Structure 1
Amino acid sequence: MKKHLNDQLFELIATSIRKGRLKSGTLLLEGPLADLFGVSRSPVRQALLNLHQAGLVCTFDGRGYLVGAQPGKVLRRKLEASDFKLTDDRAQAPRKTESWKAVYDQIERDLLHQSLFGTYRINELELSRHYGISRTVSSQVLTRLSLMGLVERDERSRWQLGQWDEERLGELYEVRRRLEPYVLVRAAEFIEPERIEVYIERLHQAMALYPDMDSRQFDDLESDLHIETLGCCPNRQMLQILRRTHSLLLSGKHILLDKSYFPDEEPFFREHLSIFENLQAGRPDLAAQSMEEHLVIAERKVKQRMAYFREHNRIAAVPYLERIDA
């Protein structure tokens, strides 16, 4: 049976630790590892979490993990393929990232920015030409974005980018307020205590670092709660419905790229921390209550963030979008 990607990564890193190729104190970060292995950050994050649970790596007062069971002197260096014997025929390298992932973030960001200013029809052929990709790849990207609710098919099966306005935001947040607290309660019994500890530690690190952060760290912290934690819920149909609201998380990922949009106070860390601490205390009912309160605050903040961005930016037109008049 083919192993999951995060299991492949776990074995590769664990083997290098046990064989001494990665010395004690070596710093392991999601981003550089994802680039080295040619995969997305999510399976790397899960592999590192599993390594932490196995006692092979540890957290410390900083980003990422250190090799070893206890933190000590931090060894910072660029990791190479040779550290994991990826060039050795005896080692099975993890499956490389699919072609669509190479352009996905750029297309996602461009479409999110354009959606703040109107509704558009997407010319898939022009999109392929603009980014220098095949029609197959562009179709894969748009299909994934449709699962998140950013784009959709119209009545003639043409791709369309809807506008992010107050009404649309309100409807999506209503779905989240109704479902996420309940899904969190269902997920609570399946979440490992060690995972909650890691998420709490990451939030404490973020609060200490803020505002010296980048948008990817915001994206990771949002994912810890709203994707990874809720993903432990056994009701897959509810998770499919919630996936349509994940486009809301893109405002943090793609609008907070510019630090001029960072709020004076951290955006959501303490709210997430309250939820995780209630889960850690065995009180999923209080965690659900904290989740609902968090989503009420989040809706207000996202509306303000998008309005500010819309007022202070002019986004250059892209050739694959045709404006649809209201």
Structure 2
Amino acid sequence: MIEFHAVHAPARPRPAPHVHRSRADEVYEQLKRDVAEFNLVPGDRFTENELSERLGVSRTPVRQALFRLQQEGYVEVLFRSGWRVLPFDFDQFEQLYDLRMVLETTAVQRICADDLRVDQALLAQLAAIWLVPAAERSSDAAQVSKWDEEFHCALVAAAGNNEMARVHRDVTDRIRIIRRLDFTKQMRIDATYDEHAKILKAVQRKRADQAAMLLRAHIETSQAEVRKITLHQVHLARTSGLGK
């Protein structure tokens, strides 16, 4: 059984080298947040001038950011009438969920391997959130959504393969908006707690096949819920502030 030790304060890290971020980078990140937080939803139309005024920047970085988002499938340019947030591409989401399943099930199998050095601190942090009595569970949809994303990213990171973790973060980023809609119902929040707890307990006992099976079923359930999502739910998420 994997032992969970007290997490000691790490040595103070060296300052990270300064990374120059352009205005276009900042606009790009802000617009991606707007999509993830339902400030911009599929079908919304806007112009470069409107974004420039709202963000307080010139049109050049706005245009650069929009072209980048266009390449990634978030928006499209409309002939002589600005830009539009693209409808959800459910075929792409299906493929991303399939890739996510491969990455995460491989990660838990590596975590359970006897000869692998696992990041115990990450696993201890997960246990502190998900292995709690029912009375201590959060019912805040936005909070649980954030914790859910961190749970799956931490499992992959704990396996110790940096390239696997990098690819998984990219997948996570691309499915974030659709994934957050999975927490609009209390029953899905309850199910997430139950399923995460079972996965963690299997990992603690080093039962690799069981952990992978539970994780696969967990992701498949979420994938099935994604297929039921409607534009109405997206607009409800915008008014309820789920993405905040």
Fold shared, TM-score > 0.5 on shorter chain: yes
Query: Are residues 1:117 and 2:71 paired?
Result: no
1:164 counterpart SS class: coil
Deviation at 1:295, TM superposition (A): 0.8
1:167 offset after TM fit, Å? Answer: 1.9
SS at match of 1:268: helix
8 Å Cα contact 1:115-1:163 kept in structure 2: no
* Counterpart residue number, 2:80: none
Distance in structure 1 (CA, Å) of the matches to 2:132 and 2:68: 31
* Structure 2 CA distance for aligned equivalents of residues 214 and 199 of structure 1: 18
Decide which of 215, 223, 240 is 1:291's aligned counterpart.
Answer: 215
Query: In the alignment, which of 233, 237, 244 is matched to residue 309 of structure 1?
Result: 233
Map 1:70-89 → 2, pairs under 5 A: none
Name the amino acid aligned to 2:7.
Answer: Q
Query: Matched residue pairs, number?
Result: 218
Q: Please report the RMSD computed on the Cα atoms of aligned residues, expressed in angstroms.
A: 4.7
Q: Distance in 1 between matches of 2:26 and 2:237?
A: 26
- CA deviation after TM superposition for structure 1 residue 107, in Å: 3.0
Contact 1:109/1:254, CA 8 A, preserved across alignment: no
Letter in 2 for 1:117: P
Percent identity of equivalent pairs: 20
Q: Are 1:191 and 2:118 an aligned pair?
A: yes
Partner of 2:164: 238
Q: What is the CA-CA distance between 1:309 and the residue it aligns to?
A: 0.6
Question: Using the alignment, how far apart are the partners of 1:185 and 1:142 within structure 2?
Answer: 40
Q: What's the counterpart of residue 130 of structure 1?
A: 54
Q: Is the alpha carbon distance of 1:278 and 1:300 closer, same or farther for their aligned partners in structure 2, counting shifts above 3 Å? A: same
AA of the residue aligned to 1:244: D
C-alpha distance in 2 between matches for 1:185 and 1:146: 37
- Which structure would you say has the larger RCO, counting Cα contacts within 8 Å and 6 or more residues apart? 2
Q: Which residue pairs with 1:280 in the alignment?
A: 204
Per-residue Cα deviation, 1:91-112 (whole angstroms, up to 9, x for no partner): x9xx9xx798988886334324
1:234-260 deviation digits (Å, cap 9, x = unpaired): 44443343333212233354785xxxx
Gaps of 5+ in 1: 1-49, 57-91, 317-326
Contact 2:100 2:168 in 1 (8 A): yes
When normalised by structure 2's length, the TM-score is: 0.63
Report the alpha carbon displacement of residue 181 of structure 1 after superposing the two structures with TM.
Answer: 0.9
Q: Could you say which residue in structure 2 is the equivalent of 1:264?
A: 187
The one-character-per-residue Cα deviations of 1:105-128 (angstroms, maximum 9, x if unpaired) are 8633432447753498x8667534
C-alpha separation in 2, matches of 1:131 and 1:287: 45
Within-5 A mapping of 1:1-326: 53-54=7-8, 107-112=31-36, 113=38, 117-118=42-43, 127-133=51-57, 151=74, 162-188=86-112, 189-205=116-132, 207-210=134-137, 212-224=139-151, 226-246=152-172, 247-253=174-180, 261-265=184-188, 266-306=190-230, 309-310=233-234, 313=236
Structure 1 residues 209 and 295, CA, compared in 2 at 3 Å: closer, same or farther?
Answer: same
Q: Identify unmatched segments of 5+ residues in structure 2.
A: 78-82, 240-244
